[in-house]
Amino acid sequence: MNRFVIADPQLCIGCNTCMAACSETHKVQGLQVYPRLKVVKIGELTAPMLCHQCDDAPCARVCPVNAITHENNMIVLNESLCIGCKLCGLVCPFGAITPSGSKPVDMPDFFEQYVPKERLLDVPDSLPTMNPFLAWNAGIRNVAVKCDLCDFSDEGPACINVCPTDALHLVEENQLENESAKRRNASIDVMPPEFDIFISRQENT
């Protein structure tokens, strides 16, 4: 089972601190600054939506350049290999992959180097409110971005570290097994006496 971050809507206050921390942390690493999670609101509840690190990873299956791979118990997206085809974002069942048009701080500005800015002045930019799957901006290279669990950091996911209400948690395989065992035991404790009689009869037959 892959590691993943889970959010508790009962604790989330919708402050967007996790998004800001995610953006800044990846900017420092020279990666896309677009946040890897997005706080969504359903009714009165808010919670961040981010990659579930799916075991079957449909995003990896459709990537034509193998920029998405299964490594270190997570789904890894290599931004340097991505060609911006957007197929991964289209097949993601959770909408957790977004095309980003920001420029990594360690990427040479090829367009400014080889294409004078004045040649791009008559090319209109897409509106900031436009869906990122439809947006375009001359001179900007779009690549896919998704949660990478801040695997480059010894401190773990930045979103978890900054959340003021502890609404975000990193789930690993052993934690999931322990939680399942707790729930099974809890369900047995609340079973009515008739259930114990039924079990004893089944054991005696």
Give tens-digit pLDDT for 90-147. 999 999 999 987 555 455 555 555 555 555 566 677 787 888 888 877 667 788 999 9
Instruction: Please give the model's pTM, rounded to 2 decimal places.
Output: 0.71
Total structural domains within the chain = 1
Does a structural domain hold residue 25? yes
> Do 109 and 91 contact (CB within 8 A), yes or no?
no
Does a structural domain hold residue 198? no
Tell the residue number behind the tokens 């114990």, with chain if given.
Answer: 196
Cα–Cα distance between 34 and 8 in angstroms, integer?
23
Cα–Cα distance between 201 and 71 in angstroms, integer?
48
Does a structural domain hold residue 14? yes
Range of the domain at 166: 4-104+138-190
